[in-house]
Amino acid sequence: MANEFLVARAFSPTNIALAKYWGKRDLNLNLPQNGSLSVTLDGLGSTTQVEFSSQTNEDHFFLNGVEQFAPSALKKVKTVLDILRSRKGISLRARVESQNNFPTGAGLASSASGLSALTLAASAALNLNLSKENLSEIARFGSGSACRSFLGGYVEWKKGEKPDGTDSVAKSVADEKHWPLSVMIIVINEKSKLYPSTDAMELTRETSPYFASWVEFAESQIPHIRKSIIERDFKSLAQLSEENCIKMHASAMAASPPFLYWAPQTLEVMKRVWSLRQKGYRLFFTIDAGPNVVIFSDDPQWDKIQLEFKDFDTIKSRIGEGAKIL
């Protein structure tokens, strides 16, 4: 091989699901029980550089400047690198350096942006000419939700029907210009430890009596959420998203032991959102597997709405573009 020093950098945003993914049907292929639908968040994400080189005989992974040795973190990175090396037919090891531009401990999922940025940077370094769909399929092996970060705007991760998972990929529902909603993340710090999401999903699948109904509900709701986005029907999207969020959490808290991700302030924010909506404001919330609340709005009085949450730490965002090579 002529070139033994291959390097590229990519930025990938994080995303947050309105129709959530909580449960796998295949752990090896990382296939979801149901489809999910997310929005890509503008500006918040990971910048990742990948350098394949003959100078090293081990993969190294640095996150925010610190080398990572935890097997769970390394495994995700190596999984993606191995797939790409195998496509290229090389065995060079890589040095991966990733930086998240949102505060650590802000509770934002860094695996979605991190694994998608890694996939894009590594594929660029190897000069693999992969479509966004191909990239999404590969990133999925590292982190399910990462597959949704290659596209901007509103993105659907298809459940897929094929046993090999090649159709469990991200598809665009609408780009970021279609419906420029305002986004605000309410950052709620909590000391209680969070379970790794794969473990929590597996325990939910095994022990929650509501899991099967959750999966059926979640899959059936996707076309309605997609439609409300295409038609820019805010009231419908608000109701569907909140019900999806609450049912995902209800399924997880019905596990044994219960996975109860909400902090007291999480409920405070949820109820404040409902109270503002009763007053006529246009906003809704969603919550991932943690205490933070993400608020969406298309209200002309968005400035006024934001003031209602000024007693919390917040991060402003909007609907953004997908991952890109730097």
Interface residues with its own copies (CB under 8 A) are 192, 209-210, 212-214, 216-217, 242-243, 246-247, 250-251, 253-254, 256, 258, 260, 262-268, 270-271
Nearest approach, Cβ of residue 212 and its own copies (Å) = 8
Residue 178 CA, chain-centre distance (Å), reads 20
Q: Which is nearer to its own copies, 224 or 318 (CB)?
A: 224
CB-nearer residue toward its own copies: 259 or 302: 259
**Dist CA 89 CA 66 (whole Å):** 30
| Alpha carbon 243 to chain centroid, angstroms | 19
**Complex with its own copies: residue 106 or 246, whichever CB lies closer:** 246
CB of residue 258 vs its own copies: minimum separation in angstroms?
Answer: 5
Structure tokens at 27: 């752990």
Cα–Cα distance for residue pair 316/326, rounded to 1 Å: 24
Q: How far is the CB of 213 from its own copies (least distance, A)?
A: 4
DSSP letter for 311, please: T
Measured distance CA(152)–CA(137) in Å, rounded:
16
Look-up: residue for tokens 């006024």? 304
Closer Cβ to its own copies, 155 or 245, answer by number: 245
Of 17 and 188, which has the nearer Cβ to its own copies? 188
Residue 264 CB neighbour total at 10 angstroms? 9
The Cα 230–Cα 174 span in angstroms is 7
Closest approach of its own copies to the CB of residue 239, in Å: 8
Q: What are phi and psi of 74, to 5 degrees?
A: -65, -35
Measured CA to CA, the distance from residue 9 to residue 13 in angstroms comes to 14
| CA gap 226, 242 in Å, rounded | 15
Q: Which is nearer to its own copies, 3 or 256 (CB)?
A: 256
Q: Whole-angstrom Cα distance, residue 179 to residue 163?
A: 35
Smallest separation (angstroms) from its own copies to the CB of 217? 5
Q: How far apart are CA 323 and CA 152, in angstroms?
A: 8
Query: How big is the chain, counted in residues?
Result: 326
Closer Cβ to its own copies, 107 or 152, answer by number: 107
Shortest Cβ 47–its own copies spacing (Å): 36
Q: Least distance to its own copies from the beta carbon of 248, Å?
A: 10
